[in-house]
Amino acid sequence: MTGLIAIVGRPNVGKSALFNRIIRKRIAIVHDMPGVTRDRVTAEAEWHGRPFTLVDTGGIGLLRGERSEDVIISAAFDQVQIAIDSANLIILVVNVQDGVVPLDAEVAKRLHASGKPVIVAVNKVDTYKAERGLDEFAELGFSKVFPVSAIHGEGLNELMDDAIRYIPKGEPVPEPEETYGEPVKKLTAQEKAKIRDAERSNAPVKIAIVGRPNVGKSSLINKITGSERVIVSPIPGTTRDAVDVPFEVDTEGVRQQYILIDTAGVRKARRIDDTVELFSVERTKEAIARCDIAVLVLDAESGILEQDKKVAAIITENRRGCIVVVNKWDLVAADVREAREKAIAEREAKIRNRDNRENQRPTMLAEFGEWVQEKLFFLDYAPVIFTSATEGFQLDRLLEAVRYVAAQLKQKVPTAILNRTLQDAIVRKQPVSSMGHHLKFYYATQVRQAPPTFLLFVNRDEVFNVGYDKYLSGELRKAFGFEGCPLVLVPKARPKTIEPKRKYNPTPEDSAKGPRPPKPAAKGRSQHPAFRDGKRPPSPVRTAPAPTPDGRRGAIGTGPRSKFASRGKPGAVGRPLGRDGRPMQNKLKKKMRGGRALGSKPKKKQA
């Protein structure tokens, strides 16, 4: 087990900024407003190969014997005390600009009483002039005082080098082997995907609990873990940071590791009025992006609202496994029981309900599940669980659903069975194409897990649409399950016929003669002598022919040819020519003119 370092202090001294600087990630929310951090934010870190757990806590803003009527402040103080009791080392953060204030002295008294090793980190020492105020903090009673700047990272090495001595030695983090003189092998995309899948299979399953504010997300986590790990209050927006809560479940002698991620509630964008809530919503979106399974929590009393669908849309955009949980079922259980008893009484009395079937309320859990999937039609593949965090109703079913969906995400479909299933589905129903194209299926394979991704080789990828994608996904779910898992189908069109790069294959005799001379280019407009200057040659001037002795211009057979040209035959002027170039006969003329002679008027029909 790795050691634990807790960062404590009064509000707004830079604890979260120091936390982010040590772990080199932006996990905790940093803001000028005091009291932003409420829960214990934990993260796994390492320093010079020594792993440890770092904990960020809320500010201690109460003096000894003082009580606050604010539920959140009291709960945050309890979370700080839990971190102090479980820490191997405590880093007390103070502000050099404010000096020693009464709250600093109060926190120091609490730390002296705990008996834990403590080192003082004097934050915001950004200049040499600020270092003059370090001697003032010696009155806190701690021997080790280090000047640091969390924003600029100054003094961090000296602080952590001393802090790591209090951490028990465990298994060091293995460093990559250095190879000198050997070329670095570049991994392909498939090899990277295999390594990523192997790491995910060994890593604990990350479960993000998301939803609207005040739907019972934190209560659900506390009930599952059996402890007051996160702060719970009836005030909406209590949770601000994304808190990782690791826990283990023993199922049939096999211990499975999970990480529950408690997130802040997502409100409508127009109702977000401060930057702290904006940062909280961004942390929630990041938690959805890095989780394996997202648990969408709904309120059974208020039903499915527009904001619930927006949160569900974020899950589908990130293509994460999903489980829908209808919480606070104990608040509506009595009404549902009465409606069920009334329906049973009407059935026994054989009284037909004349109301519209759409207006009838569901009375069974299965009917409620179908209603939820109908409202969230784009998440119809997600299982629906009805729970109560206060009473623990059906929490065991929730854990079973998590294990089942996690196993479905790791499922690998054999290629032969996959191709047979898709071939039958495509033959059974073709996609609708406005151009009348027919889809031909060649081959398919599964290229990735979590989410299951399938690559389809077809003749045309433009005929794929959203409706046909959903149809094929439904056929795959009927055959292989994939409950709670989004399916990704990637159609890839067969490439067009490519001409060979070398059309001329020389023989050994031709190779001995030398290279083949280049083929002369075709003589076009650009290479014609008349177009060398880039100008078009002038058109020839046409002159009228000299008059003949009989007074007509042009001799017989001269001038431009037309359909009625005579080809130099006397007496044939004005007669049409046939395909052989000879004057057409009267029968041919009648045949071409619909049975009448050329130039004659059509006959009138007799009555």
Tens of pLDDT, residues 234-254: 888 888 888 999 988 887 777
433: exposed, middle or buried (Cβ count in 10 Å: 0-12, 13-18, 19+): middle
Query: Given this model, what pLDDT does residue 298 score?
Result: 94
Token look-up 């033959």 returns 427
Q: Which fold has domain 3-174?
A: Rossmann fold (3.40.50)
Query: Given this model, what pLDDT does residue 93 score?
Result: 94
Query: Given this model, what pLDDT does residue 549 score?
Result: 57
Beta pairing, strands 441-448 & 384-386: unpaired
pLDDT digits (tens, 9 = 90+) for 363-415: 677 888 888 988 999 998 999 999 999 888 889 999 999 999 999 999 999 99
Name the pLDDT band for 198 (thresholds 50, 70, 90).
low
Query: Given this model, what pLDDT does residue 78 score?
Result: 87
Q: Which residues of 19-57 are buried (b: 16+ CB within 10 A; e: fewer)?
A: bbbbbeeebbbbbeeebbbbbbbbbebebeebebbbbbb
pLDDT digits (tens, 9 = 90+) for 415-458: 999 999 999 999 999 888 878 888 889 999 999 988 999 999 99
Query: Given this model, what pLDDT does residue 569 score?
Result: 47
Query: Given this model, what pLDDT does residue 158 score?
Result: 92
Name the pLDDT band for 34 (thresholds 50, 70, 90).
confident
Query: Given this model, what pLDDT does residue 564 score?
Result: 45
- Reply yes or no on whether the pLDDT at 357 is more than 60: no
Query: Given this model, what pLDDT does residue 413 score?
Result: 93
- Reply yes or no on whether the pLDDT at 115 is more than 80: yes
Question: Does residue 195 or residue 260 have the better pLDDT?
Answer: 260
Q: 485, 464, 495: which is closest to 408 by C-alpha?
A: 485
Cβ atoms of 87 and 5 closer than 8 Å:
yes
Name the pLDDT band for 565 (thresholds 50, 70, 90).
very low
Query: Given this model, what pLDDT does residue 530 score?
Result: 55
Taking residues 39-61, report their average pLDDT.
90
Distances in whole angstroms, Cα of residue 245 to Cα of each of 222, 323, 326: 10, 19, 21
- Reply yes or no on whether the pLDDT at 295 is more than 80: yes
- Partners of 321 in beta bridges: 293
Every domain of the chain and the residues it spans: 3-174, 190-409, 415-493
Name the pLDDT band for 56 (thresholds 50, 70, 90).
very high
The whole-angstrom separation of Cα 176 and Cα 183 is: 15
- Reply yes or no on whether the pLDDT at 206 is more than 70: yes
Query: Given this model, what pLDDT does residue 397 score?
Result: 92
Q: Angle at the Cα of 600 (from 596 to 601), degrees rounded to 5?
A: 95
Cβ atoms of 238 and 72 closer than 8 Å:
yes
**CB-based contacts of 77, cutoff 8 Å, min separation 6:** 58, 60, 61, 62
Name the pLDDT band for 269 (thresholds 50, 70, 90).
confident
Secondary structure of 210-278 in HEC code, one letter for each residue: EECCCCCHHHHHHHHHCCCCCCCCCCCCCCCCCEEEEEEEEECCEEEEEEEEECCCCCCHHHCCCHHHH
DSSP H helices in 319-413: 333-348, 365-375, 395-409
In total, the chain counts a number of residues equal to 607
Name the pLDDT band for 544 (thresholds 50, 70, 90).
low
Percent of the chain with pLDDT over 70: 73
Q: Angle at the Cα of 406 (from 404 to 412), degrees rounded to 5?
A: 100
Query: Given this model, what pLDDT does residue 150 score?
Result: 92
Tokens of 548: 């003949």
Name the pLDDT band for 178 (thresholds 50, 70, 90).
very low
Pick from 214-228, 309-323, 347-361: least confident: 347-361
pLDDT digits (tens, 9 = 90+) for 120-144: 999 999 888 888 888 889 899 999 9
- Reply yes or no on whether the pLDDT at 172 is more than 60: no
Query: Given this model, what pLDDT does residue 241 score?
Result: 87
Taking residues 329-346, report their average pLDDT.
82
CATH level 2 (architecture), domain 190-409: 3-Layer(aba) Sandwich (3.40)
Q: Amino acid letter at 137?
A: F
Q: Amino acid letter at 441?
A: F
Sign of CA dihedral 132, 135, 137, 142: positive
- Reply yes or no on whether the pLDDT at 573 is more than 60: no
Query: Given this model, what pLDDT does residue 454 score?
Result: 94
Query: Given this model, what pLDDT does residue 127 score?
Result: 83
Query: Given this model, what pLDDT does residue 364 score?
Result: 74
The whole-angstrom separation of Cα 308 and Cα 283 is: 18
The whole-angstrom separation of Cα 508 and Cα 302 is: 85
Secondary structure of 511-539 in HEC code, one letter for each residue: HHHCCCCCCCCCCCCCCCHHHCCCCCCCC
The whole-angstrom separation of Cα 11 and Cα 25 is: 21
454: exposed, middle or buried (Cβ count in 10 Å: 0-12, 13-18, 19+): buried
Cβ atoms of 456 and 492 closer than 8 Å:
yes
Query: Given this model, what pLDDT does residue 309 score?
Result: 94
- Reply yes or no on whether the pLDDT at 103 is more than 50: yes
Mean pLDDT for the chain overall: 80
Give the three-class secondary structure for 336: helix
Query: Given this model, what pLDDT does residue 602 score?
Result: 57
Q: 506 φ, ψ to 5°?
A: -70, 145
Query: Given this model, what pLDDT does residue 555 score?
Result: 45
pLDDT digits (tens, 9 = 90+) for 62-73: 777 666 677 888
Question: Does residue 411 or residue 547 have the better pLDDT?
Answer: 411
The whole-angstrom separation of Cα 158 and Cα 145 is: 10
Q: Do 3-174 and 415-493 fold alike per CATH?
A: no
Distances in whole angstroms, Cα of residue 540 to Cα of each of 246, 525, 537, 543: 93, 18, 9, 10
Name the pLDDT band for 324 (thresholds 50, 70, 90).
very high
Query: Given this model, what pLDDT does residue 287 score?
Result: 93
- Reply yes or no on whether the pLDDT at 296 is more than 60: yes
Q: 301, 484, 300, 327: which is closest to 394 by C-alpha?
A: 327
The whole-angstrom separation of Cα 340 and Cα 360 is: 12
Cβ atoms of 62 and 80 closer than 8 Å:
no
Taking residues 145-159, report their average pLDDT.
91
Sheet strand arrangement including 488-493: 441-448, 453-458, 488-493
Name the pLDDT band for 559 (thresholds 50, 70, 90).
very low
Question: Per the CATH hierarchy, to which homologous superfamily does domain 415-493 belong?
Answer: K homology (KH) domain (3.30.300.20)
Q: 283, 278, 256, 255: which is closest to 267 by C-alpha?
A: 278
Give the three-class secondary structure for 315: helix
- Reply yes or no on whether the pLDDT at 546 is more than 80: no
